[in-house]
Structure 1
Amino acid sequence: MTDDLSAVVRQHWWTTVASVTRFVGDLEAAEEAVQEACLAALQQWRQAGVPEHPERWLVTVARRKALDAHRREAKRAEKEAAAVRDEAGLSTEWPVGEVVDDQLALIFMCCHPALDPASQIALTLRAVCGLTTSEIASAFLTPEATVAQRLVRAKRKIREAVIPFRRPDGDGLAGRLPAVLRIVYLVFTEGHRSNASEAGTRPELCWEANHLATSLSTMMPGEPEVRGLLALLLFVDARRAGRFDAEGRLVLLDQQDRSLWDAAKIAEGEAHLASALRLGRPGPYQIQAAIAALHSTARTAAATDWAEVAALYAELVRWEPTAVVEANRAVAVAMAHGPSAGLTILDRLTDDPRLEAWPPFHIARADLFSRLGLIERATEAYETALSLSPPVPERTFINRRLRELAGGGFGPNSENR
């Protein structure tokens, strides 16, 4: 029961924070009020049950708690009177469109250029998605203390610079768009592969990311990268039902039952990708969507055009020359040209500290070692991945692979988006 209630609370976290931030004009105060409201919800709903409109309940309680905090801090009668007037106008009803505007406004506020990129992302994952500091640190392969410092600095900067809670127009909108797209993608990634969930996935975050990308594409129909991101999320999310078996064990891409994939989402992704490409302004999300399309539209694993996947990753490296992209390219190269070719690329990345802390990197190396018959090195790589505390389904998978290697059996095991 408690887990179910917590899931409901988390589902409505960010829309509540957005609404209360607009109401009080202070992100930090809003977040504190929502935290108090969430605790009250967990206590009251356990006895009385979840209300018909849990989001409205949370917003109403959080607004009142924010007003209570305002009264406690008010030093002048004028502020006290303003707080009373505000409470008199408090309502549990608000237009749906206003909620959507609040959500986008909160993200654009968190992506203000006065904040450095790392702080923008950390703040949005915290304020918008309700991720804990440790969850954000895990997603970024960054020490938890570093993330905590970024959050404190970002909230202070918003307060001191009086950064407005609104969606920018014109150049301001375009200037913040790359950061917003990056954050939407990270929200989806945390939902797709989550360390915070025993199931290894958080569908509610995937849904929120899809919802955000859809809202952005409606708001900015002429931006090809917005459509490219939406297509990417649809392609990947369409395969969700095939990623785990009935026992919750991870099923790799080449072994998934493709009849479980959501054909409607795949078709929608194809339509968005096609419309993005017609605009003639390529970008990294369109390239990633094209890669995902090759996986999602192949009738069988054997029919996947791995040479084209590898070529697209090579193009993506030009846009995003990161070790993670290069590691994904190595997997594609291995599938297209053999494990030795892929391992050559991965070996060049072994000194990158971020990849050293990223379990999929070691899983990929272990796979290629096993294909080459290097069982001892494959075992060592799997054990390294296991030591990095990957999500539960991945831990189960690694342990199964270790048993297979110990028993003399090995085979392909790479999953690629």
Structure 2
Amino acid sequence: MGAQPVTDAAGPPADDTARASARAHAYGAAAHAARESYAKLVAVLAASTGDLALAEDALADAFAAALERWPTSGIPDNPEGWLITVARNRQRDAWKSAAARTSAPLDDAAEAEAAASVTGRGGVLLDPFDDVDPLRIPDKRLELCFACAHPAIDPAARTPLILQAVLGFDAGRIAAAYAIPTATMAQRLTRAKRRIARARIPFAVPDRRDLSERLPAVLEAVYGCAAITWRDDADSLAGEARHLALTLARLLEREPEAWALAALVTLSLARRRSGPYIPIDEQSPTSWDDRLIDEGETHLRRAAALRGSDRPGRFELEAAIQAAHLDRRRTGSTDWAALRTLYSALLVVAPSLGARVAAAAVIGRTDGTSAGLAALPPGGDAFQPWWATRADLLGRAGRDAEADAAYVRAIELTQEPELRTFLEGRRRTIRT
């Protein structure tokens, strides 16, 4: 009889167990690196070449190599450094290939510029990645943000591109936020990445002359990240949105809307987020983070001081709305009249469908449910908050049959399990 594998008393062969454990640890380390550093690594790789799609492909190859090698060779001391080294080698191969150098039609001047970027005098090949130290990876995400917001990029693609390239959302999740088909969004993102490479858009924070044109898309992307991850905690992408908002505000120093966005994201994180869904006006203030509230209010006061006598912007008003809700920790009650005033101002500056629906909900509290229903804007047939607000207002008015139908539609349109459970509970209340 041949040699038998060594086994545990009641389990798989010891070698198999060890391999499974090594594989699990390697996959865990790769997942952690992807979660914590993916966007930063893409930004560094793209800044080196100006080719965002190539950076993403090279990093994907690096992660695939990690999953193949780390279970046997062990997890490196610096996983991010290992990944960027492998990825930049993939980029180097692409840069050296004749196919890559001739894939995009360039005029004579552009061809000379492209050649100069990879060759020195006498045609000696240069390494465009020499300035990247994989052991000290810089955070280049803001530069990538502004590259994605360059005037050469289609305005409709700028914010979605930042959400994908810098904040790591996939095309499907971005498409859902914009209420368009995933395939449409994917095509839009692909075209934008090609435009960055072909136009050789520089990865840099622009000076004040160019800032005003690019800043709105960058602010909108950070805001979008916070909105998409509204149920997540501070250790998730919601916390990453706060980090980028604060970094941006400190970089720009005297831009009021940047500080207002930092206030808005920080105040949003201060609310109760995990566990069953509870509307903010029904939450216990003891579940809120006092430190984040104080910090957010500080940012909001700074934004107002920088604005001076000018009209407050969208993010300042939205941050003020959050602050008014959270002020209940001091007063013990929600100041619905103040919220109505703030929403009236917001609708002058940014009359989006979401803002108009939220304003209708507040009007229902201050002026009665009939006024709230009358304030609901048209065009909300596929907008979940529209149906949820209508259902709540109808329920408060005692119009139970209509409220039930509205709850059914709101539940159909709800993606988040916790929110769906909450709406189902409210529906049961009016049916009993």
Compute the TM-score of the two structures, normalised by the length of structure 2: 0.82
Q: Aligned-pair distance for 1:294?
A: 0.5
In the TM superposition, what is the alpha-carbon distance from 1:269 to its structure 2 partner?
1.1
- The partner residue of 1:146 within 180, 184, 191 is 184
Pair 1:206 & 2:238 matched: yes
Structure 1 residue 116, shift from structure 2 partner: 2.6
In structure 1, the partner of 2:167 is: 129
Q: When the two structures are aligned, how many residues end up with a matched partner?
A: 387
Shift of residue 93, structure 1, vs aligned partner: 2.0
1:301-323: per-residue Cα shift (whole Å, max 9, x none)?
A: 96111111111111111111222
Is the CA contact 1:362–1:384 (under 8 Å) kept in the aligned structure 2?
yes
Matched, 1:168 2:206: yes
One-letter identity of the residue aligned with 2:60: Q
Supply the RMSD in Å over aligned alpha carbons: 2.7
2:429 is equivalent to residue 404 of structure 1: yes
Q: 1:3 and 1:256 mapped to 2: Cα distance?
A: 35
Report what 1:31 is aligned to.
56
1:227 aligned onto 2:259: yes
Distance 1:55 1:392, change over 3 A: farther
Measure how far apart 1:359 and its partner are.
1.7
Aligned-residue sequence identity (percent) comes to: 37
Any conservation in 2 of the 1:51–1:57 contact (CA below 8 Å)? Answer: yes
Q: Give the drift of 1:105.
A: 0.6
Please say if residues 255 and 301 of structure 1, whose CA atoms lie closer than 8 Å, have aligned partners that are also in contact: no
CA distance in 2, matches of 1:203, 1:138: 23
Match of 1:342 among 372, 383, 407: 372
Distance 1:379 1:6, change over 3 A: farther
Aligned to 1:413: none
1:288 paired residue number: 318
- The Cα shift of 1:90 comes to 6.2
Query: Residue 164 of structure 1 aligns to a residue in which SS?
Result: coil
Is residue 359–residue 390 contact of structure 1 (8 Å, CA) maintained in 2?
A: no
Describe the shift of the 1:371–1:16 C-alpha distance in structure 2 as closer, same or farther (beyond 3 A).
same
Q: Which amino acid aligns with 2:180?
A: T
Q: Does the 8 A contact of 2:233 with 2:239 survive in 1?
A: no
Asked if the contact 2:281/2:325 (under 8 Å) is kept, the reply is no
Amino acid at match of 1:325: A
Q: What is the correspondence of 1:70-89 to structure 2 with a 5 Å cutoff?
A: 70-72=95-97, 73=99, 85=127
Distance 1:7 1:402 in 2: 40
Match of 1:321? Answer: 351
The alpha-carbon deviation at position 158 of structure 1 amounts to 1.6
Q: Take 1:134 and 1:28, find their aligned partners in 2: how far apart are those partners?
A: 17
| Cα separation, 2, equivalents of 1:45 and 1:82 | 35
In the alignment, is residue 380 of structure 1 matched against residue 405 of structure 2? Answer: yes
Q: Which has the higher contact order (CA 8 A, sep 6+)?
A: 1
- In the alignment, is residue 332 of structure 1 matched against residue 362 of structure 2? yes
1:273 and 2:300 aligned: yes
1:299 aligned counterpart, secondary structure? helix
Q: Pick from 342, 352, 364: which aligns with 1:312?
A: 342
- Are the aligned partners of 1:192 and 1:202 in contact in 2 as well (CA < 8 Å)? no
Report how far residue 43 of structure 1 moved.
4.7
Alpha-carbon distance in structure 2 between the residues aligned to 1:89 and 1:234:
35
Aligned counterpart in structure 1 of residue 420 of structure 2, from 358, 379, 395: 395
Amino acid at match of 1:256: Q
User: For the structure 1 residues 56 and 207, does the alpha-carbon distance in structure 2 shift closer, same or farther, using more than 3 Å as the test?
Assistant: farther
Whether 2:134 is the aligned partner of 1:92: answer: yes
Q: Distance in 2 between matches of 1:291 and 1:54?
A: 42
Between the aligned partners of 2:70 and 2:241, the Cα distance in structure 1 is 27
Matched, 1:16 2:48: no
Q: Mark the runs of 5 or more structure 1 residues left unpaired by the alignment.
A: 194-199, 409-417
Assess if the C-alpha contact under 8 Å between 1:191 and 1:202 holds in 2.
Answer: no
SS at match of 2:229: helix
Give the unaligned 5+ runs of structure 2. Answer: 1-23, 103-114
Rounded to whole Å, the distance in 2 between the matches of 1:283 and 1:9 is: 35
Does the Cα contact within 8 Å between 1:23 and 1:63 map onto a contact in 2? no
Which residue in the other structure is 1:411 paired with?
none
Give the conservation status (yes or no) of the 8 Å contact 2:78–2:135: no
SS in structure 2 at match of 1:92: coil
- Does the 8 A contact of 1:190 with 1:202 survive in 2? no
Normalised TM-score (structure 1): 0.85
Larger gyration radius, structure 1 or structure 2: 2
2:361 is the counterpart of 1:361: no
More deviation, 141-150/56-65: 56-65
